[in-house]
Amino acid sequence: MMELLKDTNIDFIGFRKKAFILSAILVAIGFYALIMISLGKANISVDFTGGTNIQIRFKENVDIGELRKAFTDGGISDVQIQEISGTKDFFIKTKFSDTDKEKIQDKVASILSGKYKDKKFEILGSNMVGAGVGKGLKKYAIIAVGLALVGIIIYVAWRFTFISGIAATIATFHDVVAILGVFYILDKELNLLIITALLTIAGYSLQDTVVVYDRIRENMAKMKSKDDFGVVINRSINEVLSRTIITGLSTLFALGALMVVGGEVLFDFSFALFIGLIVGTYSSIFVASPIVYVWRRKFR
Amino acid sequence: MIKSLKIRFILVVLFLVISVIYCMPNIIEPQGVWKKYFPSDKIHLGLDLKGGMHLLLELDTVKMMQNMVDRKFNAFKDAMIREGIRFMGLEKKENSLSVLIRAEQKEKLYNLVGKEFPDLKSGGTRTEGDNLHVEFLLLEREIANIKDNAVRQALETIRNRIDQFGVSEPVIVKQGENQILVQLPGIKDPQRALELIGRTAQLEFKLVDEENASRVTVGAIPEGSEILTMRTRNRETGIATTTSILLKKQTLLTGELLTDARVRIGGEFGNEPYVSIEFDSEGARIFDKITAENVGKRLAIILDNTVYSAPVVRERISGGKASITGGFTMDEAKDLSIVLRAGALPAPVKVVQNITIGPTLGQDSINRGIKATILGSILVIIFMVVYYRFSGIIANIALLLNLMYLLGAFSALKATMTLPGIAGIALTIGMGVDSNVLIFERIREELRLGKTVRAAVDSGYQKAWVAIFDSHITTLITACVLFMFGTGPIKGFAITLIIGMIINLFTAVFGSKTIFDWILIKYKPRRLSI
């Protein structure tokens, strides 16, 4: 039997104060990021803000990857490039708005003429586009997230306890907000892909929490007195630790491949999942269960 | 759980066979017998993965302003008549109305405008003897407002139509002043989509001018009447032909008061599709009045200036229900009901650009993504075998089953695969791996306690099952909520997750247990390679 961990006996509950401070900092940064995002001061993608559509025609075939690189090197990193089937035309979508439309067109022209001296190109036109994600959709998204949280609280409360239901949603929320914060600090672009990544992380984190809860519930049944709740939590987390590490490792392999081989467009997406994996695992051990512990001690 | 190994084995294989059958069209082009008896749909790819139809529509705001001034003109005329203001002339121009009245009625007119037409401002007067020429201009702010609203309304209407047409993950955004950019992934019938989106969908009811019908042949169209084309379809041959029909100009009722439109089948010609429509209370009242006053006359149902049918009103129709027949095909009736339900466009649209574009992310990113996914999966598979040895192989078989079932389900449900959808699959696979890790770690614990292989496997599965079930159900709850409220990419993510969770519960627990049991029964091993 190959084993990474053997009979660990780590006092996770003992770490709770340090963990709560760390989490408080993470969440504070996340909330700051949320405020900045709602004020429109973050690096928000074309999907949400709208931008300028530019159509370019080349005389010869141009590789889309090279074209993307030319833009990144030229200082326009947030571009969406689409080929038009059967032609040598490309659609370029950037975040920059109509007010500096002339500037954008000039900038694109100068970037391209620097890169493709021989491959003649012409800019067929540029046009301002509105945001791809409408206001109504945002409203629905908020309702959806709210309802999902309520659903989880009810289910977890039914299967475990009400306190654990609340704690699980807090831990999940903690993860999503923390990753938003990290992305804001790193000035990464928030696009639809990242939103999907956040949802994936929420799913992963919740699952991790439930697995720990399940073990706690099982061990509680064997518990003799009410005092050693902390001991039970510690034992339970230690018992599922090898599962946590193995699952985390195998997910890491898949994500690592995506980060190394996936190319720059998918890098941010896999990077978000990567941090999400770490924060999600951390929160199910150091946030979700300790909250239940502290809560029970305070109110019983 | 089902005890009989044979039945469980048959179930697993049966699902696998069904999945493979549904997946086949993605690998080889279906031909001959296959095409006839087996599914031949490929998995639909979203715009971000495949690209699609790129349409640039332009709203005819000039025409819209004309309609707008027309309506204002009629309302203005009616209001003056009602208020007893006598006028000698009333003219409409591009953005203004001018009226000729007696000078002493000036104040009365200004009062009326001030009270009922706040969007008009006085544009100067000119005396002509005892009479007064007064000009009223439409406020510029109002014009801008109307144009802006029109684009927004058009956007909403088009979004509604596309949603009901069933295209997932469309992009519909405003571009420039009065243009709308629409991108549709994986459209099979671009012409039909184009017609559906571009149709103005102005529904009108007008009376057929039968008294004067004979005079039209001479070439004189009587005042207050107009000629429109009428479309009829031969029931036997299915060929549509157009004829001319003389109608009274006055519109009795429009589609604005409609609340619902549905395709129904039946009617006097047996099994023909037609569209049944329902009006709101006001529409029902007007329709009741129209039919009561015109029993025995023909009432024409007009959509975008084409008459679809002109049935004779046999009796007064109350209740606000009517039907539009016209020898439609099923698709035509369906599209007609969609445009009627989604509402009319505020103005006609013109297609400026209609091209097919590549994927949003670029083909290069997708190719790299696919490469990375394959590499990642291989790494996970190797890791499982290295860490869990023989049991790792079983976990990998469960994983592959999971993937096959997922692809099969995707093909069978005709769901659209998008990048968020793939993220959903990744999460599913991740949970699949996790389920097996949970089970294996439990089995190891049980083995450490000194249980026999058979007992350890059984209780390992049993104990892990609770955690697996709970984590899957919580994820399923989130996915269902996201599916109900999410749109576009979020919905795609939710669909994969819902399908994935259900399949995962089956493969990771039921599937792998079946393999385990088969080995345990057949070989009765003393030790387990785990």
Most confident of A12-26, A140-154, B51-65, B298-312: A12-26
Written as one letter, the residue type at B471 is S
Distance from CA of B516 to the nearest CA of A (A): 18
Is residue B369 within 8 A of residue B227, CB to CB? The reply is: no
Q: Is the pLDDT of residue B461 over 90?
A: yes
Between chains, do B362 and A260 touch, taking CB under 8 Å as contact?
no
As a whole number, mean pLDDT of residues B126-140 equals 82
Between chains, do A2 and B387 touch, taking CB under 8 Å as contact?
yes
Is residue B503 within 8 A of residue B428, CB to CB? The reply is: yes
Query: pLDDT digit string (tens) for B249-266?
Result: 878 887 777 888 888 887
B489 neighbourhood in chain A, CB within 8 Å = 192, 195-196
Q: Label each residue of B389-446 as H, E or C.
A: HHHHHHHHHHHHHHHHHHHHHHHHHCCEECHHHHHHHHHHHHHHHHHHHHHHHHHHHH
As a whole number, mean pLDDT of residues B112-119 equals 80
Asked if the C-beta of A219 comes within 8 angstroms of chain B's C-beta atoms, the answer is no
Is residue B122 classed as helix, strand or coil in its secondary structure? Answer: strand
Between chains, do B426 and A200 touch, taking CB under 8 Å as contact?
yes
Q: Which of A165, A168, A173, A177 is nearest to A146 (CA)?
A: A173
Per-residue pLDDT at A136: 60
As a whole number, mean pLDDT of residues B316-326 equals 82
Q: What is the mean pLDDT of chain B?
A: 83
| Pick from A1, A140, A257: CB nearest B487 | A140
Based on the number of CB atoms within 10 Å of its own CB, is B54 exposed (0-12), middle (13-18) or buried (19 or more)?
A: buried
| Pick from B362, B471, B486: CB nearest A207 | B471
For residue B214, name the pLDDT band (cuts at 50, 70, 90). low
Between chains, do B358 and A68 touch, taking CB under 8 Å as contact?
no
In the beta sheet, which residues pair with residue B134?
A: B99, B125
Asked if the C-beta of A235 comes within 8 angstroms of chain B's C-beta atoms, the answer is no
Task: Give the span between the Cα atoms of A208 and A277, in whole angstroms.
Answer: 10
Q: Is the pLDDT of residue B292 over 80?
A: yes
| Pick from B356, B360, B481: CB nearest A80 | B360
Q: What is the pTM of this model?
A: 0.73
Per-residue pLDDT at A115: 78
Per-residue pLDDT at B468: 92
Per-residue pLDDT at A69: 84
Q: What are phi and psi of B197, to 5 degrees?
A: -75, -40
Edge-to-edge strands, sheet with B131-138? B87-92, B96-102, B131-138, B120-128
Asked if the C-beta of A33 comes within 8 angstroms of chain B's C-beta atoms, the answer is no
B449 neighbourhood in chain A, CB within 8 Å = none
Percentage of residues in chain B having pLDDT higher than 90 = 12
In the beta sheet, which residues pair with residue B126?
A: B133
Task: Give the span between the Cα atoms of B197 and A146, in whole angstroms.
Answer: 34
Is residue B172 classed as helix, strand or coil in its secondary structure? Answer: strand
| Pick from B181, B383, B489: CB nearest A250 | B383
Mean pLDDT per block of 10 residues along chain A (300 residues) reads: 78 91 94 88 77 84 84 79 82 71 74 78 79 66 82 90 91 92 89 81 88 90 75 91 90 86 82 91 92 83
ipTM of the complex: 0.83
- Write out residues 92-111 of A within 8 Å (CB-CB) of B: none
B420 neighbourhood in chain A, CB within 8 Å = 192-193, 196
Q: Is the pLDDT of residue B362 over 70?
A: yes
Between chains, do A246 and B437 touch, taking CB under 8 Å as contact?
yes
- Write out residues 106-145 of A within 8 Å (CB-CB) of B: 127-134, 137, 140-141, 143-144
